[in-house]
Amino acid sequence: MDALPSFYDDLDGFRAEGWRCLAEGVENRHSPFHTPSLATVDAAGRPRLRTVVLRAAEAGEGRLRFHCDRRSDKARELAESGLAALHVYDPPAKLQLRLEGRARLHRDDALADAAWAAALAMSRVCYGVEPAPGTALAAGDAYALPDEDPEARIGRENFCAVVLTVERIDLLYLDRRGHRRAVFWREGEGWRGTWVAP
């Protein structure tokens, strides 16, 4: 039988493992943490889900960043509610991570400029799509993308960086010898947490 992971009965270590996985997900496109599911609520209170690419994870600040088109449904829902949740399950690691927090959209500030500057040309072109994301089309290919020019600012006006300030973390580790689940919430500058029944 496999050795138990170091965080198995270590509450602080469990939280640190969650942030370690998120940081790894930013760098490693093969990690399940690279492409979490993002949940929002629409104006009628209905839940909405979609995949996003995780672009930054700062454990110290408890913040995450991803990017989207400011014309998209998700941008509208995030702006209206200010709320978001993320979910990842890593099957080989048998680790589920759920995060909830407050989302802030950065469209025209220094943070958005820096995120745009760091984005690859192949990512930038997506923000130049016409018509806007979600618009009904007469045919599947009835949309246009700009050329991949690394110097071009086409799409910048539609680009939006979203920073999620995490307020609650729910970690679940599956193991035949006994699952481990813990919940953490912000308290002041730090985190409080407790083991909970899985």
Scan residues 74-113 and list those touching ligand FMN (CB under 6 A): 74
Closer to ligand FMN by CB, 10 or 58: give it. Answer: 58
**Closest separation in Å from C-beta 34 to ligand FMN:** 8
Q: Which range of residues in 2-10, 51-59, 104-112, 173-181 is near ligand FMN by CB under 6 A? A: 51-59
Radius of gyration for the chain, computed over Cα atoms and rounded to the nearest angstrom = 19
Q: Which range of residues in 18-26, 66-74, 108-116, 172-180 is near ligand FMN by CB under 6 A? A: 66-74
What x-and-dash track marks residues 11-50 binding ligand FMN by CB under 6 A? ------------------------x------------x-x
Is position 73 an interface residue for ligand FMN (rule: CB under 6 A)?
yes
Give every CB contact of residue 4 below 8 A, 6+ residues apart in sequence. Answer: 175, 177
Q: Which range of residues in 22-30, 70-78, 106-114, 167-175 is near ligand FMN by CB under 6 A? A: 70-78
Is position 192 an interface residue for ligand FMN (rule: CB under 6 A)?
no
d(CA 126, CA 105): 18
Q: β-pairing, 159-173 with 180-187?
A: antiparallel
**Taking the CA of residue 139 as centre, how many other CA atoms within 13 Å lie in the half-sphere pointing to its CB?**
3
Closest C-alpha among 161, 164, 159 to residue 58: 164
Q: What is the DSSP string of 81-108?
A: H-EEEEEEEETTTTEEEEEEEEEEEESS
Site residues (CB under 6 A) for ligand FMN?
Answer: 35, 48, 50-53, 66-69, 72-74, 133-134
